[in-house]
A and B are shown apart, each in its own frame.
Chain A
Amino acid sequence: MFRASASLDQSRTRRCLAYSLLWMVFACFFVKSSASAAEAPKEHEVKAAFLVNFAKFVEWPSDAFAEDKSAVVIGIIGDDPFGDSLPRMVKGQTTKQRDIEIRRFDAGEDPQGCQVLFLSRSLGPKTTEVLARVQGRPVLTVGETEDFVRQGGVIGFAIVDQSVRFDIHLKVAQDARLKISSKLLAVARSVIKAP
């Protein structure tokens, strides 16, 4: 009897948990689906998520941060294509016990003090200029143009079969003293090692 009731208790709590989980999942799904229902899943939403995630698979040298606890700054240079999706992603997120901040730079501005720098498609030919500007600095440059990686960027988004993928230029990253997690490398579409 006791055992049965114990197992009953257990199964009850488990069922409770399962219900709440289901509810959470359902809520998530509902929220998500309501969002996607409002506006179809946008390429930039995915990219924004990726941008945040990149920070989690990259290690910066210690001098990249002003202080031990200073936040990881994601800089956006050029026109911000993410709208409110990036701030939404960042909100409450941390990586390596650091907060994540978003800073926007103008195309001509020197993107100082950021660890991740997204180079907007809007930069156009100025992209190489910006890259040259941050070269040697521990900044993870992320672009969305076709030949961004060949131009000297670290990670370049690409659209493959209607899904967002990316290439990584390892050499550039090493030059920038960035350690890219092998896991990240494993999911990249291509990893360029030669200069």
Chain B
Amino acid sequence: MKIIRLISDLPIRRKLTLLLLTPCIVVLLVVGAALVAFQLRFFKAGFTRDVRAVAEIVGANSTAAISFNDPKAAAEILESLRAKDHIEGALLLLPDGSVLARYGAYTAEPMIASEDRIVFRRSDVLTIEPVVLDGTQIATLNMQSDFGSVYAELIRLIGWMVALVALVGAAIAALLSTWLQHLVSDPILRLAQTARTVGDHQDYSVRAREESSVEMGVLTRTFNQMLARIELQDGAITLARHKMEALVNSIDGIVWECDADDLRFSFVSRQSALILGYPPEQWLSDADFWCHHLHPDDAERATKLCRESIAARVPYLHEYRMIAADERVVWIREIGSILEEGGRPKQVRGLFLDITAEKLADENLDRLNRRLLETSRLAGMAEVATSVLHNVGNVLNSVSVSATVVRDRLRDSRVHNLRRATAMLREHDADLLEFLAADPRGKRLPEYLDSVSEHLTAENASLLAEVAQLGTNVEHIKEIVARQQDYATVSGVFEKLAPKELVDDALRINLNSFERHRIELVRDIASNLPLVQVDRHKALQILVNLFRNAKQAIDAAQGTDRRLFIQVTSVSDDRVAVRIRDTGIGIAPQDLTRIFEHGFTTKKGGHGFGLHSSANAAREIGGNLTAHSDGPGKGAEFTLELRTAP
């Protein structure tokens, strides 16, 4: 596998050379191997033949020497074996086992007869050749030939031959293949060069040279056609891209694309430099660019929403503030959509719109609205006041008349006549009986008193009537005022208010009295509270009432711990709670259920109206009021829950 990879990594020239060379060498080696096998096979046969011929000749030549028992001659004949290097030794054995003659070093066992005339041993060959004369075996020639070294020599020779032939063959094949591979590789390399030029310079106007061979011709032609098409498409793509970029950059907003996992931007349109003062490069280079440039107050909320939307894979829209390069606070409306790939969020694409102007306009509108509301309220109050004054003034006429009548009657009263009569009686204290009996004035006095009392009785009746009239009129005034109050309640206006602002207003009203009574205020108002939708005056009325109650409870307790806790928290999505806890006298458990009832009070001089009406008012503005106390002397806690603005 490694070799295959190594080969496939080679340049095509080498590969082709290798392609042509490999079969050549393989064929050469196979033929060489076959030749070697063939040679060795035939060498053995040839060797056998040779040895046997030599043995036969020597045997034949030595017949006379044997016949005439001439060891010297026999030895001389055997000496002729010296011509054959490989014959190491020989014996001429007579039938009786005696050795007639000996040549060289014959180390094997002498044999007079043998089944095989040739015996191949490990490294030598024994030849047992009977010497026959006229059909009679007169002796046996034993010959020992060194086969191993001859064989080795032969193998070496053939090996060298084969190696030489293979080498020369391979060299010729290499030369030929080097020459031939050009025919194939050159056009391919030229084509590759063209492709590289195209790749390196992105220049699709380059064309490959037309090749003459059929396949390469087709290939280059097709390649050129492809290039032409790519050139065309490249132009179109460039044009489209420019158009697209121009379009994207002309959008009055920042078009962007970022990774869904790490929110790193992969594209940001040019408008980013205009809107926020950061060029796109800066957005792309900083992995957390967006997070780093969010307004600190909005960062957490915006990131959370973004992450949640991506996780839920739903398009989203939110608004937050960002800090521009020149430290400006810019309101951004972000519209994002999530691109999925393989079932998980892959990218987010969207738009940042600069809504600072819009936000400012909104704020202005809001402020204007509030002022208008205030104004209209004031106007309404004035109207109410006018109508009340008018109605009250009408009644007041009657009241005034009744008062004048009563005053006149009282001024013209005969009461002084009575005083004169009593003064006269006191003057005559000593001689009262005598005066009443004797004096003429005394004698007329009872008559006088009678007329006075008669007169006074009449006057009294008249005054009573007048006062009754007056009372009726006053009742009427009260009625008018009450009606106006009811009317104002019904027409109460609901506003969106910050809970903190509401609490602060209520406190401001009571602040002097808290200071005077040395009550310490402990405030715990959560930040980022949603706005509440309430009738400002009713809410204020409730809160002021609660504060006053708390103050009175603390006073009544006469303790040293004089603290008032104010806590404002968000209790649910649509509820904000204002908790007012005091260190006052507390509420007995049995009273706790009754404190909101009409007419119930624990205060001396209290009218039992405050908490009842407060609870009603709380219900009217969509909230509720609850109380809690651990018992007498342990303080009390009132909770006013308010509805948040939708």
Contacts of A17 in B (CB 8 A): 113, 115
Asked if A32 lies at the interface with its beta carbon under 8 angstroms from chain B, I say yes
| Measured CA separation A163–B112 after assembly (Å) | 25
User: Chain B residues near A65 (CB, 8 Å)?
Assistant: none
Contacts of B95 in A (CB 8 A): 25, 28
Chain B: how many interface residues by the 8 Å CB criterion? 21
Instruction: Say whether A8 faces chain B, with CB atoms less than 8 Å apart.
Output: no
Q: A46-B69, A56-B67 are in contact. Are A21 and B115 (CB under 8 A)?
A: no
Contact A56–B96 (Cβ < 8 Å): no
The one of A14, A29, A93, A186 that contacts B115, using a Cβ cutoff of 8 Å: A14
A20 to B67 Cα, complex, angstroms: 24
**Do A183 and B63 touch across chains, with their CB atoms under 8 A apart?**
yes
Residues in B516-535 with C-beta less than 8 Å from chain A? none
Give Cα A165 to B95, complex, Å.
Answer: 21
A94 to B64, CA, bound (A): 16
Interface residues of B in 140-194 (CB under 8 A from A): none
- Cβ of A95 < 8 Å from any Cβ of B? yes
Cα A105 to Cα B643 with chains together (Å): 175
Given known pairs A56-B134, A94-B134, the reply for A25 and B112 (CB within 8 Å) is yes
Whether a CB of chain A sits under 8 angstroms from the CB of B460 is: no
Which label, helix, strand, loop or mixed, suits the secondary structure of the A interface? helix
| A95 vs B70: C-alpha distance when bound (angstroms) | 21
Residue of A nearest to B68 (CB): A187
Candidate in B67, B68, B135 with the most chain A CB atoms within 10 angstroms: B68
Closest to A20 in B: B113
Bound state CA distance, A163 and B70, in angstroms?
A: 9
> Number of residues in A with C-beta < 8 Å to the partner?
26
- B67-84 interface bits toward A, Cβ cutoff 8 Å, 1 = contact, 0 = none: 111100100110000000
Does A12 sit at the interface, judged by CB under 8 A? Answer: no
**Considering only CB atoms, which chain B residue lies closest to A166 in the complex?**
B68
In the complex, the answer to whether B64 meets A184 with C-beta atoms within 8 Å is yes
* Chain B hits for A94, CB < 8 A: 134-135
A68 → chain B closest CB, angstroms: 17
Contact of A187 among B64, B113, B133, B135 (CB under 8 A): B64
Docked-complex contact A186 and B97, CB < 8 angstroms: no
Contact A25 B68 (CB under 8 A): no
A95-B134, A186-B64 known; A32 and B96 CB under 8 Å? yes
Tell me the residues in window 146-175 of chain A with beta carbons closer than 8 Å to chain B beta carbons.
163-166
A94, chain B: closest CB distance, angstroms: 6
Verify B97–A29 contact, CB threshold 8 A. yes
Task: Say whether B48 faces chain A, with CB atoms less than 8 Å apart.
Answer: no
Most B C-beta atoms less than 10 A away, residue of A46, A50, A53, A166: A53
Residues on B with C-beta less than 8 A from A186 are 61, 64-65, 73, 76-77
Given A29-B97, A94-B134, A94-B135: A53 and B112 interface contact (C-beta under 8 Å):
no
Query: Which residues of A sit under 8 angstroms from B73, Cβ to Cβ?
Result: 186-187
User: How far is B67's CA from A183's CA once the two chains are assembled, in angstroms?
Assistant: 10
- Complex Cα distance A151/B69, Å? 26
Query: Quick check: B65 and A187 within 8 Å, CB to CB?
Result: yes
Contact assessment for B112 and A50 in the assembled complex, using a CB-CB cutoff below 8 Å: no
A45-76 interface code vs B (CB 8 A; 1 in, 0 out): 01000100100110000000000000000000
Alpha-carbon distance between A46 and B70 when the two chains are bound, in angstroms: 12
B115: chain A residues at CB < 8 Å are: 13-14, 17
A181 contacts the other chain (Cβ, under 8 Å)?
Answer: yes
Q: For A29, what are the chain B residues with a Cβ–Cβ distance below 8 Å?
A: 96-97
B543 nearest CB across to chain A (Å): 119
Q: How far is the CA of A80 from the CA of B531 in the complex (A)?
A: 169
Which one of B64, B77, B97, B134 contacts A96 once the chains associate, using CB atoms below 8 Å?
A: B134
Taking a contact as CB atoms under 8 Å apart, the answer to whether B134 and A187 are in contact is: no
Cα distance, A53 to B95, chains bound together (Å): 16
Residues of A within 8 A of B96 (CB): 25, 28-29, 32
Per-residue contact bits, chain A 1-24, to B (CB 8 Å; 1 contact, 0 not): 000000000000110010001000
CA distance A164 to B112 in the complex (A): 26
Residues of B within 8 A of A93 (CB): 134, 136
Chain B residue at minimum C-beta to C-beta distance from A95: B134
Q: How far is the CA of A164 from the CA of B69 in the complex (A)?
A: 9
Residues A181 and B64 in contact, CB atoms below 8 Å apart: yes
Contact of B68 among A13, A21, A32, A53 (CB under 8 A): A53
Asked if residues B64 and A21 are in contact (CB atoms below 8 Å), the reply is no
CB A156 to nearest CB in B, in angstroms, measures 14
Assembly CA distance A175 to B96 (angstroms): 39
A144: shortest Cβ distance to chain B, in Å?
15
Which A residue sits closest to B62, measured CB to CB?
Answer: A183
B268 to chain A, nearest CB (A): 89
Pick 22 A–B contacts, CB within 8 A, sort by A: A17-B115, A25-B97, A25-B112, A29-B96, A32-B96, A46-B69, A50-B67, A56-B67, A57-B64, A57-B67, A93-B134, A93-B136, A95-B134, A96-B134, A163-B69, A166-B68, A183-B64, A186-B73, A186-B77, A187-B65, A187-B68, A187-B73
A57-B64, A94-B134, A187-B65 provided; 20 other pairs, C-beta below 8 A? A14-B115, A17-B113, A17-B115, A25-B97, A29-B96, A29-B97, A53-B67, A56-B63, A56-B133, A57-B67, A93-B134, A96-B134, A183-B63, A183-B64, A184-B64, A184-B68, A186-B64, A186-B73, A186-B77, A187-B73
Q: Which residues of B contact A (CB under 8 A)?
A: 61, 63-65, 67-70, 73, 76-77, 95-97, 112-113, 115, 133-136
- The 4 A-B pairs of least Cβ separation, nearest first, read A183-B64, A53-B67, A187-B70, A187-B73
